């Protein structure tokens, strides 16, 4: 493999799959493509009002085929023959029930349209009750706290809570499910043809951050713990896994079937899968004590630190610490916000509702004109809000908002929490509220930085990637002001796919380490935002108001519980 030049990075996001073919010697993009999920795009199998978000495995398969074929279409056969390896990153925790052969139930007769037989997307919060039960049992004074390396709080967004909820609500899935698999483990298994639940290689990243895997208890929490939680889980641990692998390991070789389907060489190496944000951190040139913020619909905030410095210390209030989840032989620390860009999208849809209803039902315009008008409004509303909000002075509106519209991931996960807006008057305008929402997402980020610092994890710098970081100067300047930190923006627009290509280069032996791959293949930085001192000072005062509102809302939630 040392003489092969190219790797293929695959990034499964919330709405689409992206592929990039990278020259491993210089980082040049040879080909790239994006394929949207057809069923997801139609809103199938989802119920936003109940926080149910499901994705069909066929969306992932169809998207992969389309995106890979489009990416290699303009390439010469010489370049295609030079593709040495593939690594994939996906959202997570996004598990699915599988049978004894490792086939997702949604791909079996009778389950094709059953949402409970599909991948349970990372932002699905239907398992809030189950997460609460896991925490109550784990925190019992007479037992081991299996959440200690997961920040001390298990989330409804994660593996075990989603499994237990599904087993409880769907008897047909319960009877058919032999085991369960994360999206990032299923794709490599599919590509190699080894989908045996007991022998396929599982991601250290997903296992450690989402399933409480840790060497201290020889892998996953023991069967006795799960049986005490609910007998429906009895025996499942033995049908999952004990060993896990970091993303520098190879899973195997592409199967002949998938080699033909994708039009790739028969000896392409398939790397171990990972969660998208963690691979994105590699693509973003992460280094010790520099926080990488993946800013999109939600955020994932990651830090790596030397194993000998973190040791056995359990960092409280975050989303986990896992040896090798990002960089092998270093502790990967994860935190994040359950909504960031999703908050802005929610507000956009809220403001567009009257237009969609009234214009959509109007007889004054023809169908094509109505469609174009509504599309123009949807495309332009955030731009206009940003322009107007940028002219509002800090604190002149008196509005404070909470960014908990999709619950709180960090610090101290609590998906029962709800968002809030305080300080509205008859003089409040749409841009006023939009600015308050942007400030709220920045304040939520500050809470994460402070949590790490309070736990003794220093932060020497901040790197940002993702759609919001790339596109919104308004949001990023407010974020820099609130955090009072310079923020460097990575140049690559597809950093997760780039990180996956780097992982493939290491898994195949083209590069020996991730640092070597980063130096050869990295995109560099496109911009740096510096905090404005007077703004940072003003935001410290508003941050106190944000904390006060948060304390009030959380207290009310606890009293209801």
Q: Are 225 and 157 in contact (CB under 8 A)?
A: no
Angle formed at CA 16 by CA 408 and CA 169, multiple of 5 degrees? 55
| Radius of gyration for the chain, computed over Cα atoms and rounded to the nearest angstrom | 23
Q: What is the model's pLDDT at position 205?
A: 97
**Residue range 201-260, pLDDT digits in tens:** 999 999 999 999 999 999 999 999 999 999 999 999 999 999 999 999 999 999 999 999
Give CA–CA dist 435/428, Å, rounded.
Answer: 11
The alpha-helical segments, DSSP class H, found in 247-396 are 256-262, 276-283, 307-310, 341-361, 367-389
Q: Output the six-digit token pair for 46.
A: 């989802």
Angle formed at CA 192 by CA 186 and CA 197, multiple of 5 degrees? 45
The whole-number average pLDDT for the span 125-133 is 96
**Residue range 335-370, pLDDT digits in tens:** 999 999 999 999 999 999 999 999 999 999 999 999
- Is residue 462 over pLDDT 90? yes
Q: What is the model's pLDDT at position 509?
A: 96
Grade residue 395 by pLDDT with cuts at 50, 70 and 90.
Answer: confident
Q: Are 338 and 172 in contact (CB under 8 A)?
A: no
Closest C-alpha among 257, 245, 247 to residue 200: 245
Cross-strand pairs, 120: 54
Grade residue 198 by pLDDT with cuts at 50, 70 and 90.
Answer: very high
Q: What is the model's pLDDT at position 235?
A: 98
Grade residue 2 by pLDDT with cuts at 50, 70 and 90.
Answer: low
**Residue range 26-73, pLDDT digits in tens:** 999 999 999 999 999 999 999 999 999 999 999 999 999 999 999 999
Give CA–CA dist 513/23, Å, rounded.
Answer: 16
- Where do the structural domains in the chain lie, given as residue ranges? 341-491+526-560
- Is residue 3 over pLDDT 80? no
- Residue 520: CB atoms within 10 Å: 17
Return the sign of the alpha-carbon dihedral for residues 26, 260, 269, 13: positive
Grade residue 297 by pLDDT with cuts at 50, 70 and 90.
Answer: confident
Grade residue 499 by pLDDT with cuts at 50, 70 and 90.
Answer: very high
Grade residue 561 by pLDDT with cuts at 50, 70 and 90.
Answer: low
Q: What is the model's pLDDT at position 413?
A: 85
Token look-up 């791909």 returns 107
Grade residue 558 by pLDDT with cuts at 50, 70 and 90.
Answer: confident
Tell me which fold the domain 341-491+526-560 belongs to: Nucleotidyltransferase; domain 5 (3.30.420)
Q: What is the model's pLDDT at position 324?
A: 96
**Residue range 81-120, pLDDT digits in tens:** 999 999 999 999 999 999 999 999 999 999 999 999 999 9
Where b means 16+ CB within 10 Å and e means fewer, 185-204 reads bbbbbbbbebbebeebbbbb
Grade residue 396 by pLDDT with cuts at 50, 70 and 90.
Answer: confident
Q: Are 219 and 92 in contact (CB under 8 A)?
A: no
- Is residue 1 over pLDDT 60? no
Across all residues in the chain, what is the average pLDDT? 95
Grade residue 160 by pLDDT with cuts at 50, 70 and 90.
Answer: very high
- Is residue 272 over pLDDT 60? yes
**Residue range 406-456, pLDDT digits in tens:** 899 999 888 889 999 999 999 999 999 999 999 999 999 999 999 999 999
């Amino acid at each position: 493999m040392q003489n092969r030049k190219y790797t293929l990075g695959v990034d499964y996001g919330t709405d689409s799959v992206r592929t990039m073919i990278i020259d491993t010697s210089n980082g040049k993009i040879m080909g790239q493509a994006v394929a949207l999920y057809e069923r997801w795009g139609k809103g199938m199998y989802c119920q936003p009002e109940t926080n149910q978000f499901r994705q069909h495995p066929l969306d992932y398969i169809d998207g992969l085929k389309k995106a890979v074929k489009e990416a290699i279409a303009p390439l010469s056969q010489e370049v295609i023959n030079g593709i040495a390896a593939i690594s994939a990153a996906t959202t997570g925790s996004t598990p699915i029930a599988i049978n004894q052969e490792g086939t997702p139930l949604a791909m079996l007769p009778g389950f094709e349209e059953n949402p409970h037989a599909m991948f349970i997307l990372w932002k699905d919060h239907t398992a809030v009750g189950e997460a609460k039960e896991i925490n109550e049992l784990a925190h019992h004074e007479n037992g081991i706290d299996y959440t200690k390396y997961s920040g001390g709080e298990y989330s409804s967004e994660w593996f075990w809570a989603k499994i237990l909820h599904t087993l409880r609500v769907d008897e047909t899935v319960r009877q058919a499910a032999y085991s369960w698999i994360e999206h990032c483990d299923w794709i490599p298994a599919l590509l190699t043809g080894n989908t045996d639940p007991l022998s396929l290689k599982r991601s250290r990243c997903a296992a450690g951050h989402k399933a409480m895997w840790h060497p201290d208890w020889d892998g996953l929490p023991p069967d006795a713990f799960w049986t005490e939680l609910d007998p429906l889980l009895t025996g499942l641990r033995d049908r999952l896994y004990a060993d896990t692998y970091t993303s520098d390991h190879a899973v195997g070789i592409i199967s002949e079937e998938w080699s033909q389907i994708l039009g790739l060489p028969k000896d392409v190496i398939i790397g171990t899968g990972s969660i998208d944000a963690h691979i994105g951190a590699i693509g973003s040139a992460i280094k010790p004590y520099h926080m990488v913020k993946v800013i999109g619909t939600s955020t994932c905030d990651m830090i790596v630190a030397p194993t000998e410095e973190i040791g056995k210390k359990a960092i409280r209030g975050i989303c986990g610490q896992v040896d090798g989840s990002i960089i092998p032989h270093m502790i990967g620390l994860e935190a994040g916000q359950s909504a960031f860009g999703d908050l802005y999208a929610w507000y956009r849809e809220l403001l567009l509702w009257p237009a969609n209803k009234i214009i959509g039902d109007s007889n004054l315009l023809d169908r094509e004109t109505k469609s174009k008008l509504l599309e123009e409004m949807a495309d332009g509303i955030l731009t206009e809000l940003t322009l107007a909000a940028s002219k509002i002075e800090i604190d002149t509106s008196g509005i404070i908002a909470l960014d908990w519209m999709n619950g709180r991931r960090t610090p101290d996960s609590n998906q029962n929490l709800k968002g809030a807006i305080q300080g509205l008057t008859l003089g409040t305008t749409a841009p006023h509220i939009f600015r308050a929402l942007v400030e709220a997402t920045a304040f939520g980020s500050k809470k994460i930085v402070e949590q790490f610092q309070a736990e003794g994890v220093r932060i020497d710098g901040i790197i940002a990637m993702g759609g919001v970081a790339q596109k919104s100067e308004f949001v990023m300047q407010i974020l820099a002001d609130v955090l009072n930190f310079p923020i460097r923006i990575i140049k690559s627009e597809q950093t997760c796919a780039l990180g996956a290509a780097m992982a493939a280069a290491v898994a195949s032996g083209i590069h020996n380490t991730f640092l070597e791959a980063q130096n050869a293949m990295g995109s560099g930085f496109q911009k740096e935002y510096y905090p404005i001192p007077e703004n940072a000072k003003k935001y410290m005062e508003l941050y106190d108001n944000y904390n006060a509102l948060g304390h009030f809302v959380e207290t009310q939630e606890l009293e209801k519980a």
